[in-house]
Amino acid sequence: MALKNKYQAPTLDEIVKTAKKISPYIYNTPVVLWDSPESHNRFSKKTKLFMKMELFQKTGTFKARAAINNVLALSESQKRKGVTTISAGNHAIATAYAASCFGISAKVVMLSSANPDRIKKAKEFGSEILIAEDGAAGFEMAEYISATEGRTFIHPFEGYNVTVATATCGLELHEFVKNLDVVIVPVGGGGLCSGVSSLTKLMNPSCKVYAVEPEGAQIMTKSLAAGKAQSINRVNTIADSLAPPMTTPYCFEMCQKSIDEIVLVTDDEMAAAATILFSELKLALEPAGAASTAGALGPLKDKIKDKRVGVIISGTNTDPNSYKELIDRGIKSLKNGVFNYN
């Protein structure tokens, strides 16, 4: 079973069973059609964009799906010893939430650069929070906690339990919207992308899957070019939720099998996309949550013209000051013609 979980993609039956198993603890998030004069102008009247709203998920992002599934997989002995993890914020909050659902102790490592609001939210679920200087140091700290305290390490994006759980997001999308031509999904470590892309190819093999990655954190792009999981020494992007220091074998392989193309977006493009989504759909997003839309508005615009497109809005955990900075940047970027509209 271990080899299967490490190297084989989840089956459709396994994804459906996982969706049922985690359903008491997560939301089936809404799908909204972006259909307005603005969308017609930026794309075409025939282009249909179906926005999968994971920002309305428990804890504010898709991360709750995998965190719950990982905790459900623990033995009674593992539950008694508790869990640990490392995260820039969203996975920390999700793990804290999942642990609280089952009365499990959680010791969570977060980064010194993490938004204070995210740290506060993780603490509110009862987790103990430790701070690391960067992602590499954070992984080392969490692994040390796991080794010395016997806590189960819940990886932020690696493994079968992550992929089969995030695939349920894709399942909900494809069940709600039939005959999609394209699915656009943000990618960092690949936890979300591996699940959504794998499910898409199971339910609709002809549907194109486009992954969108920040220009300043090209870890999946680098890994796909190398043909294997890679690491990077430095990232430089406002989308900290899409900026891990490495990819990992299982999720990389699932992405490699199922992604048709990966494109890059700039910080200005994500800020501009967030600004447009606030104006059009009244969504208040963190940069990563706007990445897939930035891809649609920018490098993928011609590829999705007149298509039926699923767009994964991965989530948001932000605060008023950070959001204001993002929108101010987005307004400036739009004035500067960031997407080069005619």
- Distance between CA atoms of 60 and 86, rounded to whole angstroms? 18
Place of tokens 């990819």: 247
Can you tell me the distance from the alpha carbon of 271 to that of 262, in angstroms, rounded to the nearest whole number? Answer: 19
Q: What are the extents of the domains in the chain?
A: 2-61+161-335, 63-153
Tens-place pLDDT, residues 170-216: 999 999 999 999 999 999 999 999 999 999 999 999 999 999 999 99
Q: What is the pLDDT of residues 111-141, one digit of tens each?
A: 888 888 899 999 999 999 999 988 788 889 9
Average pLDDT value for residue range 264-283: 98
Rounded CA separation 258/9 (Å): 10
Residue 6 banded pLDDT, cuts 50, 70, 90: low
Convert the pLDDT of each residue in 17-61 to its tens digit.
Answer: 999 999 999 999 999 999 999 999 999 999 999 999 999 999 999
On whether the pTM is more than 0.85, the answer is: yes
Q: Which of 42, 22, 36, 63 is nearest to 288 (CA)?
A: 63
Specify which residues 183 forms β-bridges with: 209, 310
Determine the topology of domain 63-153 in CATH.
Rossmann fold (3.40.50)
Q: Which fold has domain 2-61+161-335?
A: Rossmann fold (3.40.50)
What integer is the mean pLDDT of 255-281?
A: 98
